[in-house]
Amino acid sequence: MIRGRGVELKNREQLRLMRQAGLVVAEVHAAVLAAAAPGVTTGELDQVARDVLARRGAGSSFLNYGAEWGQTPYPGVTCISVNEEVVHGIPGSRRLESGDLVSVDFGAYVDGWHGDAAITFGVGELAEADALLSEVTRDALWAGIGAARLNGRLGDISHAIEASVRAAPGRYGILADYTGHGIGSAMHQPPDVPNTGRAGRGLRLAEGLVLAVEPMVTRGSSIGVTLDDDWTVVTSDGSRAAHWEHTITMTRGGLWVLTSADGGEAELAARGLPFGPLAD
């Protein structure tokens, strides 16, 4: 069912397929995290993701993305962004080193229905300030998720993300010009889900709406610069960045984090938020 500004509302069967895609995404993140170590290349991590996709019979949401619009087709199944790279880093021959701050963004589809999520982690010994940056970004993601409720507004999510980052001790930049998004029968759909905004404004949150919530936070500039490879976005001041993302939906029972292995149950419980999966 499609309603209002091209927003796609999913039925129960479609949500179940998106959960299947989300479970593949969670499995890939776990496998990539387990394989990441000093000396491993980002291309090798991309191959780990390809192996999971093949094993599960799922498709890549990222591979060749952009080709239909005449953009340089995206060449990987993951985006791996290291240190001052914020998002859309292309996996390749780069070898990870101890102290690197790495984000892995990954999307998969099952029967045409997509899931999209990103994690950030350190390789070997991570500087305290980088670990904090990742924590601040992850907290902002869960603050955004926790602000989503049926009959609430899109701006509630955006505001909660921004307020969470601003409340953290230290000065952080929220990457401008990049947002979360609706997701379903395509990876990117309306509405945009900005990482800054005002509560009580914007689209009313309805049953069947599925959103990718994804704060991108830096230890400095909020300006991103795209490199000559047409994809990699780095911070304009060379400061390090983190990116956390989940695909979520709201049910009458509460929240369902489609790209989390446990559906978000543990993290939601820890934050006093209602967990509302659909029955199988």
Binding footprint of ligand MF3 on the chain (CB under 6 A): 62, 65-66, 74, 79, 88, 105, 107, 116, 181, 212, 214, 245
Nearest-10 crossing angle of helices 12-35, 42-56 = 140
Instruction: Determine if the peptide bond prior to 191 is cis (ω within 30°).
Output: yes
Q: What's the min distance (Å) between Cβ of 106 and ligand MF3?
A: 7
Residue from 27, 84, 116, 267 touching Co ion (CB under 5 A): that is 116
To ligand MF3, the closest distance from the beta carbon of 8 in angstroms equals 16
62 contact, one of ligand MF3, Co ion, none, CB 5-8 Å limit per kind: ligand MF3
Counts for the chain of helices (H) and strands (E), in that order? 5, 17
Residue 85 interacts, among Co ion, ligand MF3, none and using kind-specific CB cut-offs from 5 to 8 Å, with none
Of Co ion, ligand MF3, none, which one does residue 255 interact with (CB within 5 to 8 Å by kind)?
Answer: none
The answer to the question of residue 119 lying near Co ion (CB under 5 A) is: no
CB of 181 to Co ion, least distance (A): 6
CB of 64 to ligand MF3, least distance (A): 9
- Identify which of residues 192 and 207 has a Cβ nearer to ligand MF3 in the complex: 192
Find the largest Cα–Cα distance for the chain: 49
Nearest to Co ion of 102, 118 (CB atom): 118
Tokens representing 56?
């599960």
CA gap 158, 214 in Å, rounded: 10
Residue 65 interacting partner from Co ion, ligand MF3, none (CB closer than 5 to 8 Å by kind)? ligand MF3
Q: How many angstroms separate the CA atoms of 280 and 265, rounded?
A: 16
Q: Quick one: three-class SS letters along 164-228?
A: HHHHCCCCCEECCCCCEEECCCCCCEEEEECCCCCCCCCCECCCCCEEEECCEEECCCCCEEECC
Q: Are 259 and 277 a contacting pair, CB within 8 Å?
A: no
Residue 126 or 187 with smaller CB distance to ligand MF3: 187
* 139 touching Co ion, by CB under 5 A: no
Q: Is 87 in the site for Co ion (CB under 5 A)?
A: no
Determine the interface stretch with Co ion among 60-68, 74-82, 211-219, 252-260 (rule: CB under 5 A). 211-219
Verify binding: residue 161, Co ion, rule CB under 5 A: no
If the CB atoms of residues 29 and 275 are measured against ligand MF3, the closer one turns out to be 29
d(CA 108, CA 18): 9
Distance between CA 104 and CA 224 in Å, rounded? 18
Residues that bind Co ion (CB under 5 A): 116, 212
